[in-house]
Amino acid sequence: MTGIPPVRRRLLGAALRRYRENLGYALDEAARILECDRSKISRIETGQRGISAKELRELLTEYGVPDGEQAALLAVAHRGRQRGWWQEYRDVLSEAGQDYVIMENAASEILAFDAHQVPDLLQTREYAHAVAVADPGCEGDDQRAHAVAVKLARQRALLGGAGPRLEFVVGEAALHQVVGGGAVMRPQLARLAALAETPAGARGAGVPGVSLQVLPFTAGAHAAAGSGSMAILRFAGAPGLGVIHLAALSGGVSLEGRDDVARYTRAFARLRAAALAPAASARLLRAMAKD
């Protein structure tokens, strides 16, 4: 295999290597558990090859990994083998994009910051369409329609009553960027205001408890000044497991190192502290929607 291994394999492999080394096991000892050669264990740990659900459970059990953490790792590693809705959108979702959507669906918590655009998970259909029209990667009406459909499908999957805990910080610049004109922006801003007004943790009427805050211009320099957008995925029962996704025109970059996850989580906490409270964010959004 050439190139960088998929982030899900890297995430799983790094976790398995950490468990093995914490027990003081050598590669040969791990290989004996699966009755294989040490090169297979090495390739699994570096993300160069996958691992079956049976083998994964055998290793995790031998390593003494708690049930909750085992469940999180199995969801990340093998949910993609089930037929998911994302497989219908390969024209707009690269392999890395599908990888991210699978992890997004396995996450128990998503923390997201966007400086210049309304986050994908909060966009109205009309706003998403205007973004697709401007996207140089979308060619033709069919591909643009698929790009919108992917965002709406992600919203249906994640914004339901059993979805992950969601926290968003949106830069004020994103609210002033007139995407699609006033007829598109007014309902988009109204939707954001309604979400900001929803008490955190409240779920009902198909709307989850979403924490939404606006980072105002008056906040000045902030913890993510050099980043346009980022998303942090965390998983229940596995506090040491996490993924950072940094968006880019090339499809973005995913980081899974523990130091990276800790660094970006601290940055997000500072963004949240610098942002307006949800109630004040809602008032600002309502006022802007009326202009």
pLDDT for 2? 42
pLDDT for 1? 37
Model pLDDT for residues 47-96, shown as the tens digit of each residue:
999 899 899 999 999 999 999 889 989 888 876 555 678 888 888 888 88
pLDDT for 3? 58
pLDDT for 90? 85
pLDDT for 149? 95
The domains of the chain, with CATH numbers, are 7-81 (1.10.260.40), 105-123+153-290 (3.30.870)
pLDDT for 81? 54
pLDDT for 238? 85
Per-block mean pLDDT, blocks of 10 residues, the chain (291 long): 72 93 95 95 93 93 92 80 76 86 91 96 97 91 94 90 89 96 96 86 53 95 86 89 88 88 95 96 95 79
Contact partners, residue 283, CB within 8 Å, separation at least 6: none
